[in-house]
Amino acid sequence: MNFTNFGRYILLLKAAFKRPEKWKIYMKAIFQQMDFIGVGSLGLISIISTFIGAVMTLQIAFQLVSDFIPKTIIGSVNRDSTILELSPTISAIVLAGKIGSAISSEIGTMRVTEQIDALEIMGINAPGYLILPKILAGITMVPMLVIISMVLSITGGYLGGTLSGAVSPTEYIQGITTDFNPFTIAVALVKAFVFGFIITSVPAYEGFYVKGGALEVAQASTRAVVVSCISILACDYLVTGLML
């Protein structure tokens, strides 16, 4: 059964990546989706990232209670954890909930109200028109959101650590600037790219093949979020294993 679903998912993607009927119309749809996925999620990602950074600093400081460990390590650990794991993965899971459910419900509702049939009858490649702009917006905007998340999370760590007195500003800044490996950014961006693809394509698939009514659309949304989250974690492991 899962192989059948995977096969249908691949076939849907193949149809989605066919040459668009008119790029001008698709470009408009891509920018709309970029606005929805990127700008629309900025507030949520900002709040979550800032607080995660602050909490991470406090927890690292709490665990490193030894005179033999310099406090600058708090900044280093926070930086690497944020860049490599927390910003890409937590952002992706949050976005899977917010964007994934929206995509699945939107496409699912279009399916049950025959809007997708209407597109097909007009001679329009429905997977292309509905899914391609979402995927392209996802793989461009999610990495941007992850970069913003990294900056805010590290800033949040600074604020949380210094305001609570867990670490001094000088120690924290020294920590985040010492032994920085720029390759970690590349790993994070690859993850963000993959997650952006999953967050948009999996819910689109779930919505596209909905049969029934409101109940089935809701079930498809739930399934979309669950499958997206599991796929994100599996791909997180894969990318980390391959690149580090």
Check residue 115 for interaction with another protein (CB under 8 A).
Answer: yes
The single residue among 114, 164, 168, 238 that binds another protein, judged by CB under 8 A, is 114
Please, which residues have CB within 8 angstroms of residue 74's CB and are 6 or more apart in sequence? 57, 60, 61, 64, 157, 161, 166, 167, 171, 172, 175
CB of 8 to another protein, least distance (A): 16
Nearer CB in complex with another protein: 79/111: 111
The single residue among 43, 123, 165, 241 that binds another protein, judged by CB under 8 A, is 123
* Alpha-carbon gap, residue 130 to 139, rounded angstroms: 15
The single residue among 10, 11, 25, 230 that binds another protein, judged by CB under 8 A, is 25
Check residue 14 for interaction with another protein (CB under 8 A).
Answer: no
For CA atoms 30, 31, 36, 40, the dihedral sign is: positive
* Alpha-carbon gap, residue 198 to 178, rounded angstroms: 34
CB of 11 to another protein, least distance (A): 12
- Report which secondary-structure segment, H or E, holds 171: helix 169-177
CB of 90 to another protein, least distance (A): 30
Residues in contact with another protein by the rule CB under 8 A? 21-22, 25, 109-110, 113-115, 117-118, 120-125
